[in-house]
Amino acid sequence: MPKALIFDVFGTVVDWRGSITREVRTLAERKGIRLNAGKFANEWRSGYQPAMDRVRRGDLPWLNIDALHRLILSELSAKYQLNQLSEKEMDALNRVWHRLKPWPDSVRGLKKLKQTYTVSTLSNGNFSLLNNMAKHSQLPWDCIISAELFGHYKPDPETYLGAAKLLDLEPGQVMLCAAHKDDLLAAKACGLKTAFIKRPREFPPSVNLDLSFDKRFDFNAESIVDLADQLSSG
Amino acid sequence: MPKALIFDVFGTVVDWRGSITREVRTLAERKGIRLNAGKFANEWRSGYQPAMDRVRRGDLPWLNIDALHRLILSELSAKYQLNQLSEKEMDALNRVWHRLKPWPDSVRGLKKLKQTYTVSTLSNGNFSLLNNMAKHSQLPWDCIISAELFGHYKPDPETYLGAAKLLDLEPGQVMLCAAHKDDLLAAKACGLKTAFIKRPREFPPSVNLDLSFDKRFDFNAESIVDLADQLSSG
């Protein structure tokens, strides 16, 4: 059994799509801007992986996720008529990522797991973003571990192995819990245990997600509460 | 007012002297070893500053506090007849630093402060030590910040400024809370706010401690609960 559970956050613990859609819709109405808030949220999120890849390849220096989100937001602003916002308003909008709402089971599931295990983030989100989000939504982390601490983004091995080392555990004593199979497979390749958490509503229905349970992972769960139940009966 | 409160841990939040004395006394009785447990605890702690200084000067490579504690324990073991313990028993004894008990007001005070501020460690203790201690004693940290994350020990400025940077705050938005004036003065020199917390029982009565309240600090408090009261009325 693992001693520490480390969680992917965007999509696995919090609902970025719903949170951003709601907040941008409200902002647009207040400002009289016409935009498709759901499409905007998806496009903002889509810029994230390519932006991290630019850092990973060395085309960009190390930039944290706040900076990458801000870069993508600037690139999208003309298309969505957000360029009428001031720099200060754009900065405030960028902080929406600090205010993402948890899935309905997340807080309860983490509280249950915390009774037995160390529960931590292992997210590409920067440390302050993860800390602010936890304060905002009462996510009961024991500690915050961010890719920022290692100067590497997931799925670089430095992140998974770095988390185990910080916790002074062997990789096999640490389990990554995530809704994304590529993240889990990279952790597994480093020797970590893995738990797949199904999040069918992370992306819009038009996206063809692989939500199948998968024997390559140690656990497959319908939610964080379900994972806690499986672990306590296991 | 500060946005985040970062705490020195050994002596400020937890009672290293009482915890170690009790645990070593029990171990010695079980093993039939005659030793002065209180004196041993003080001497173990006394080795800590010189050991960190050796790292700071470059005489030793970066070693975390677990490793430094283990080094000092080995050096003391003959004098206290602990060299009859196996390596495994010595390793287990070294972990007593992960099990230090909080002062009676610590958990209540931190819980109260957590309602308004980010509360974090800023300790020379390594990340896993601080995490294990928090789990063991229900210390309700929002996040764990350790000198280990910066490869520098307090009072190096990299630790105070590194904590502010991780939290994405200006130094003046962060307050170091500590029972040790040298730690506070180093943080103040970096622009942090400071709160002195009086801990008259950290050292034995024979040690002549400067416990006087001091105008150089933003707050002077009798306990963490007192600090919370002062902040909420201030």
Q: What is the pLDDT of residues A35-57, one digit of tens each?
A: 999 999 999 999 999 999 999 89
Q: Which amino acid is at B114?
A: K
Number of domains in chain B: 2
Domain co-membership, B73 together with B181: no
Q: What are the two backbone dihedrals, phi and then psi, of residue B14, each rounded to the nearest 5 degrees?
A: -125, 155
CATH number for the domain that contains residue B86:
1.10.150.240
User: Angle formed by the axes of helices B181-189 and B157-166, to 10°?
Assistant: 70
Tokens 């070893």 — which residue?
A: B33
Residue B21: give the domain boundaries: 16-98
Chain A nearest CA to B174, separation (Å)? 13
Q: Among the three residues B59, B83, B98, which one is the final residue of a domain in this structure? A: B98
Q: Among the three residues A64, A83, A98, which one is the final residue of a domain in this structure? A: A98
Looking at the predicted complex, does its ipTM rise above 0.85?
yes
Q: What is the DSSP letter of A117?
A: S
Mean per-residue pLDDT for B80-87? 93
Domain co-membership, B106 together with B159: yes
Determine which helix (DSSP H) or strand (DSSP E) holds A49, and give its type and residue range.
Answer: helix A48-57
Domain co-membership, B30 together with B76: yes
From A128, A131, A166, residue closest to B127, measured CB to CB: A166
Contact A166 B118 (CB under 8 A): no
Tokens standing for residue A187: 């952790």
Domain co-membership, A111 together with A21: no
Mean per-residue pLDDT for B52-74? 94
From A128, A166, A167, residue closest to B167, measured CB to CB: A128
Closest A-chain CA to B139: A142
Domain co-membership, B123 together with B224: yes
Whole-number percent of chain B with pLDDT over 90: 96
Q: Among the three residues A98, A113, A143, which one is the final residue of a domain in this structure? A: A98
Confidence at residue A16, expressed as pLDDT on a 0 to 100 scale: 98
Task: Provide the phi-psi class of A149: left if phi over 0, else alpha when psi is between -120 and 50, else beta.
Answer: alpha
Contact B128 A66 (CB under 8 A): no
Cα–Cα distance between B98 and B102 in angstroms, integer? Answer: 11
Q: For residue B42, how many other CB atoms are within 10 A of its CB?
A: 18
**Average of per-residue pLDDT values in chain B:** 96
Domain co-membership, A130 together with A38: no
Confidence at residue A98, expressed as pLDDT on a 0 to 100 scale: 98
Confidence at residue A229, expressed as pLDDT on a 0 to 100 scale: 98
Tokens standing for residue A188: 């597994």
Domain co-membership, A11 together with A67: no
Q: What is the pLDDT of residues A167-224, one digit of tens each?
A: 999 999 999 999 999 999 999 999 999 999 999 999 999 998 999 999 999 999 999 9
Confidence at residue A76, expressed as pLDDT on a 0 to 100 scale: 95
Tokens standing for residue A194: 């893995």
Domain co-membership, A111 together with A36: no
- What is the three-class DSSP state of A99? coil
Domain co-membership, B207 together with B120: yes
* Chain A residues whose beta carbon lies within 8 Å of the beta carbon of residue B127: 143, 166-168
Interface of B with A in 107-166 (CB under 8 A): 118, 126-128, 131, 134-135, 141-144, 148-149, 166
Cα–Cα distance between A182 and A179 in angstroms, integer? Answer: 9
Give the CA angle between residues B52, A173, A200 to the nearest 5°: 120
CATH number for the domain that contains residue B159:
3.40.50.1000
Domain co-membership, B108 together with B88: no
Domain co-membership, B48 together with B109: no
* Chain A residues whose beta carbon lies within 8 Å of the beta carbon of residue B131: 118, 142-143, 167
Domain co-membership, A108 together with A89: no
| A vs B: CB pairs below 8 A | 49
Q: What is the pLDDT of residues B4-17, one digit of tens each?
A: 999 999 999 999 99
